[in-house]
Amino acid sequence: MCGIVGYIGNKNCVPIILEGLKRLEYRGYDSAGIATINSVSTDVVKCEGKVSALEAMLNLNKLDAPLGIGHTRWATHGAPNEINAHPHFNENKDLFMIHNGIIENYQVLKTKLKKQGYNFASETDTEVLVLLIDSFMKKNLSLFDSVRYALNEVEGAYGIAVISKKEPDKIIAARKGSPLVIGIGENENFISSDVSALIQHTKRVVYLDDNEICELTKDNFFVKNISDESIKKEIENVTLELDELSKGGYPHFMLKEIMEQPDSITNAMRGRLLFKEGSTKLGGLQGYEDRLANSKRIIISACGTSWHAALVGEYMIEQFAQIPVEVEYASEFRYRSPIIYSDDTILFISQSGETADTLAAMKEAKRKGALVLGICNVVGSSIARESEAGVYIHAGPEIGVASTKAFTSQLMVLAQITLLIARKKSMSFVDGKKVLTELEALPGKIKKILEMNSEIEKIAEHFVDAKNFLYLGRGYNFPVALEGALKLKEISYIHAEGYPAAEMKHGPIALIDENMPAVFIAPHDSIYDKVISNIQEVRARKGRIIAIATENDYDIDGLVDYCIKIPHTLEILMPILTVIPLQLLAYHIAVKKGLNVDQPRNLAKSVTVE
């Protein structure tokens, strides 16, 4: 969740680190800090709040150094304040560390260090680790070995970068469970938790794997594992471009990403639709198609929005590929001794590819011998690399904390996987072609929905003061109801619940009165009449109703207060369209409340802690 940037070279590291931290701020933004070392001094500057606050302090301090590390934090242990902000350091202020992750046995280590005479300034687990490293340095071990010895005592997850005045020509970085990538430059090298902080300087990167430690100097690096064995690493080239990381004229990344969806879903199907065969070709699954199609059961596991995509996937695969599907929260899957058979396929979905719960669930599934596949957005991410095979959604960088374009692209890929299996089973060529034709038509239909942006903004005006919201849908659109509610609550802080529309009468209907807005996802599909009955039930109790309906549905107009009409498509693909007005509705409500939609409180983009 936290952002890490380190620099070693001939330039002043401060502007480079600040620029990198700004790009990483979506990962955590409650406090920030930087530590630098030059030939005359070591300096550390930290503050509560965003990187802009740190920048203001640094302007006053005018630091200049060729070596430094910086951090933007999402608090786990200890409140977000200056003392708990990273970098943490030893008493002499000559050893500094930044950390992403959680040291689980920090209490045990803290007690041990206290007995050795160490005092602690912060409430963080990170300070324990830096002082543990210090305790090894006091035994005259090198910085590299001190880090290695310390990590051998640590339980938990970490991505760390460490610098020391005693060895001012290097950065030591190590990873277990939290991403770290080295950027290789000319007479300069970088370390970061995310390639987006590096691409301005270099496209040549090395991804660290779990239990690896790297020593980085300005013109070299080596990697060993925690047992001191050398590891040969490949230098990879990233294709990400800098302009993909900017707002492109939009006021927020979230709006830009919503508006990008005609393109992002086009990218999710590029080169993958086989009209001649009425099927799909997914390069990342080559060689695994038959095993997948012959699975006795498919389990899909994920968190948050990706979990909602998984639920849609369940409806798709069961209906068309006729394989039983179970959907599991990754956080539950990893701890509940799931029964897994060797002819199961387990599909993990993650935008970031770094979500700690999903990654841990994936490792558990691998241990149990099933076929483990990944659906990820971030190329080279941990989940992408851990999976046996998988499919990239190619949505491009998603910076807004609320996931939008990744969701629709995940659904695109799930539909393509469904088609791939279904065509190997009972689906006819004609039906397969129908799905392909509709897939191809989706970008145009999304454009039409996006043209309704100002209409949706006007509807949003009426709900800025709402305290609660209900989102109701059935069948394929039940997960969309969950997703609509999640979007609203995470960026507007309005309490919202998603429910299967028919379940409403088993409890939530008690909440309905003239103050309760209910959003119905009611496209013209096989279950339309039933949803209309549920709308009637809310209407009879004076609830305020917003409906997402299909164009040419005039019957619904008299039943609801506001209606957003969207183009029609096949039922299996409808969630890709119905979710878009809900993204815009949540966005406009939050903006009208004056909230920071890209960086909502308490959240971070990739949840790399449990």
Q: How far is the CB of 101 from ligand M6R (least distance, A)?
A: 16
Residue 505 to residues 48, 91, 520, 521, 575, Cα–Cα distance (Å): 46, 62, 14, 17, 24
Please identify, using beta-carbon distances, which residue of 33 and 498 lies nearer to ligand M6R: 498
- Provide the edge-to-edge strand list for the sheet that holds 42-48: 42-48, 31-37, 67-73, 3-8, 189-192, 181-184, 204-207, 236-237
The catalytic position among 445, 489, 565, 605 is 605
Q: Which of 164, 358, 477, 599 binds ligand M6R (CB under 6 A)?
A: 358
Q: How far is the CB of 487 from ligand M6R (least distance, A)?
A: 7
Q: Rounded to whole angstroms, how far apart are CA atoms 326 and 297?
A: 8
Segment near ligand M6R (CB under 6 A); pick from 244-252, 396-404, 545-553, 587-595: 396-404
Q: How far is the CB of 113 from ligand M6R (least distance, A)?
A: 33
Residues 540-579 that bind ligand M6R (CB under 6 A): none
**Structural contact between residues 566 and 523, judged by C-beta atoms closer than 8 angstroms:** yes
Q: Which of 304, 473, 484, 575 binds ligand M6R (CB under 6 A)?
A: 304
The question of whether 605 is a catalytic residue gets the answer: yes
Q: How far is the CB of 407 from ligand M6R (least distance, A)?
A: 8
Strand 204-207, strand 181-184: pairing: antiparallel
| Three-state DSSP string of 78-96 | CCCCCCCCCCEECCCCCEE
Q: Does 305 bind ligand M6R (CB under 6 A)?
A: yes
Q: Does 408 bind ligand M6R (CB under 6 A)?
A: no
Segment near ligand M6R (CB under 6 A); pick from 94-102, 193-201, 299-307, 338-346: 299-307
Total interface residues for ligand M6R by CB under 6 A: 16
Q: How far is the CB of 146 from ligand M6R (least distance, A)?
A: 33
**Structural contact between residues 576 and 322, judged by C-beta atoms closer than 8 angstroms:** no
The catalytic position among 2, 13, 47, 376 is 2
* Cβ atoms < 10 Å from Cβ of 430: 8
Segment near ligand M6R (CB under 6 A); pick from 110-118, 395-403, 435-443, 567-575: 395-403
Residues 66-125 that bind ligand M6R (CB under 6 A): none
Q: Does 351 bind ligand M6R (CB under 6 A)?
A: yes
Q: Which of 279, 352, 534, 599 binds ligand M6R (CB under 6 A)?
A: 352
Token pair 């619940």 is at which residue? Answer: 497
For the window 485-524, what string marks contact with ligand M6R as x by the rule CB under 6 A?
Answer: -x---x----------------------------------
Please identify, using beta-carbon distances, which residue of 304 and 575 lies nearer to ligand M6R: 304
Q: Rounded to whole angstroms, how far apart are CA atoms 357 and 380?
A: 18
Q: How far is the CB of 413 from ligand M6R (least distance, A)?
A: 13
User: How would you class 32 by CB atoms within 10 Å of its CB: exposed for 0-12, middle for 13-18, buried for 19 or more?
Assistant: buried
Question: Could you check whether the bond before residue 443 is cis, i.e. omega within 30 degrees of 0?
Answer: no
Q: Does 301 bind ligand M6R (CB under 6 A)?
A: no
Please identify, using beta-carbon distances, which residue of 167 and 328 lies nearer to ligand M6R: 328
Which residue number has the CB closest to ligand M6R?
A: 304
Q: Which of 164, 267, 280, 350 binds ligand M6R (CB under 6 A)?
A: 350
Q: Which of 402, 435, 470, 584 binds ligand M6R (CB under 6 A)?
A: 402
Q: Rounded to whole angstroms, how far apart are CA atoms 309 and 301?
A: 10
Please identify, using beta-carbon distances, which residue of 331 and 550 lies nearer to ligand M6R: 331
Please identify, using beta-carbon distances, which residue of 1 and 133 lies nearer to ligand M6R: 1
Token pair 């950065």 is at which residue? Answer: 171
Q: Does 606 bind ligand M6R (CB under 6 A)?
A: yes
Please identify, using beta-carbon distances, which residue of 27 and 565 lies nearer to ligand M6R: 27
Segment near ligand M6R (CB under 6 A); pick from 63-71, 95-103, 398-406, 492-500: 398-406
Structure tokens at 386: 């851990």
Segment near ligand M6R (CB under 6 A); pick from 126-134, 300-308, 316-324, 572-580: 300-308
Beta strands in 165-250 (DSSP E): 167-176, 181-184, 189-192, 204-207, 212-216, 221-225, 230-231, 236-237
Per DSSP, the three-state class of 201 is: coil
* Cβ atoms < 10 Å from Cβ of 328: 20
Q: How far is the CB of 264 from ligand M6R (least distance, A)?
A: 15
Segment near ligand M6R (CB under 6 A); pick from 110-118, 348-356, 556-564, 569-577: 348-356
Q: Find the largest Cα–Cα distance for the chain.
A: 80
For the window 306-345, what string marks contact with ligand M6R as x by the rule CB under 6 A?
Answer: x---------------------------------------
Strand 517-522, strand 544-550: pairing: parallel
Q: How far is the CB of 490 from ligand M6R (least distance, A)?
A: 6
User: How would you class 549 by CB atoms within 10 Å of its CB: exposed for 0-12, middle for 13-18, buried for 19 or more?
Assistant: buried
Q: Which of 32, 195, 216, 401 binds ligand M6R (CB under 6 A)?
A: 401
**Structural contact between residues 357 and 334, judged by C-beta atoms closer than 8 angstroms:** yes
Identify the DSSP state of 317.
I
Q: How far is the CB of 175 from ligand M6R (least distance, A)?
A: 18
Which among 347, 353, 348, 328 has a CA at the least distance from the CA of 338?
328
CA angle, residues 573, 574, 576, in degrees to nearest 5:
75
Q: Rounded to whole angstroms, how far apart are CA atoms 203 and 347?
A: 30
Sorted by sequence, the CB contacts under 8 Å of residue 267 that are 6+ apart come out as 394, 395, 396, 409
Please identify, using beta-carbon distances, which residue of 474 and 487 lies nearer to ligand M6R: 487
Q: How far is the CB of 58 from ligand M6R (least distance, A)?
A: 30
DSSP for 258-269? HHTHHHHHHHHH
Q: How far is the CB of 306 from ligand M6R (least distance, A)?
A: 4
Residue 467 to residues 200, 463, 584, Cα–Cα distance (Å): 43, 9, 18
Please identify, using beta-carbon distances, which residue of 536 and 602 lies nearer to ligand M6R: 602
Q: How many helices (H) and strands (E) does the chain have?
A: 18, 27
Interacting residue ranges for ligand M6R, rule: CB under 6 A: 303-306, 350-352, 355, 358, 401-403, 486, 490, 606-607
* Catalytic center residues: 2, 605
